[in-house]
Amino acid sequence: MKVLKKCRQYLHWVQNSVLEGEISEASLKKLKMELERIIKKDEDSVIIYSLRTTKYSSREIMGIEKGSPGNIL
């Protein structure tokens, strides 16, 4: 719940534990630093998708990876 509350300070809630929005590089860096202090790296999983264009995207995982990556829809 702490992670969701922290992320909602920067992004828009979509559903369950999914948030989205545009965020500056500086704000993203600050959010990541704040999440590092909150998450339990051996239990929690935070996945950050960066979509720069329709042809380029990246996926970053903080903590453990749960499930398989699958496709992004």
Q: Which uninterrupted H or E stretch holds 47?
A: strand 45-51
Residue 43 corresponds to which amino acid? E
In the predicted model, is pLDDT for residue 67 greater than 70? no
- Each residue of 34-46: pLDDT tens digit? 999 999 888 888 9
In the predicted model, is pLDDT for residue 1 greater than 50? yes
Instruction: Report the predicted TM-score, pTM, of the whole model to 2 decimal places.
Output: 0.69
In the predicted model, is pLDDT for residue 73 greater than 50? no
Q: Which uninterrupted H or E stretch holds 20?
A: strand 18-20
Cα gap 66→73, rounded to integer Å: 18
Residue range 19-26: mean pLDDT, rounded: 90
Cα gap 44→66, rounded to integer Å: 9
Query: What structural domains does the chain harbor?
Result: 2-63 (3.30.70)
pLDDT at 54: 66
**% of the chain exceeding 90 in pLDDT:** 33
